[in-house]
Amino acid sequence: MRLASIALLKVGYLLGFEKYGHIFLFNQNLDKIREQILNPEKEIITEPFWVNYEFPEMNLGVNILNKPTELQCFLNTFILKTKSMNGQISIAFPGYNKEDSEIYEHINKILCSSKEGTVNMEITTMEPFLDLRDEKKVFSSALIWENRKKANAQHRI
């Protein structure tokens, strides 16, 4: 089961690289993810790195999970089709800021807690903002992430 989940992490990572481009490779918060993918037999990431929630079909692809703010992350969502099932998989990836590396701890505390109920989530698809053929949009994911963080900081003041 562990190796299968690492394979899903790798699929989510490759989807991120395909859509965000090389800027995705420069995110230092993804070093731990890359290390886990390269060493699937090791338990490098011990907390959940997925979001078990059925998002609308329009959110297939790359997204940002906006709210709750503790869960802000890049969220790459795809359909997994096997002989026995079809299911939506959403893999969380930390943003570019240092504190964003704590996303998996937040997923564990908020989404995997023993409390009853659900968490209201707000998600924004990144697909319309990304076009790696347009040199003006190559850094779009980093710029959008930074603007979102600034806007959230201003709301807290």
Domain hosting residue 77, numbered range: 2-156
Please state, in angstroms and rounded to a whole number, the distance separating the CA atoms of residues 120 and 67. 7
The average confidence (pLDDT) of the chain is 84
Question: pLDDT by residue (tens digit) across 47-65?
Answer: 999 988 889 999 999 998 9
Q: How many C-beta atoms lie closer than 10 Å to residue 73's C-beta?
A: 26
- Are 89 and 78 in contact by the 8 Å Cβ rule? The answer is yes
Query: What pLDDT band is residue 128 in, cutting at 50, 70 and 90?
Result: low
Which has the minimum average pLDDT: 1-5, 8-12, 109-113, 151-155? Answer: 151-155
**Residue of higher predicted confidence among 20 and 44:** 44
Please state, in angstroms and rounded to a whole number, the distance separating the CA atoms of residues 137 and 121. 27
Count of structural domains within the chain:
1
pLDDT at residue 22, as a whole number? 83
Q: In one letter, which amino acid is 115?
A: K
- Are 96 and 139 in contact by the 8 Å Cβ rule? The answer is no
Global pTM? 0.82
3-state secondary structure of 68: coil
60-88 mean pLDDT: 90
67: exposed, middle or buried (C-beta count within 10 Å: 0-12, 13-18, 19+)?
middle
Please state, in angstroms and rounded to a whole number, the distance separating the CA atoms of residues 102 and 108. 10
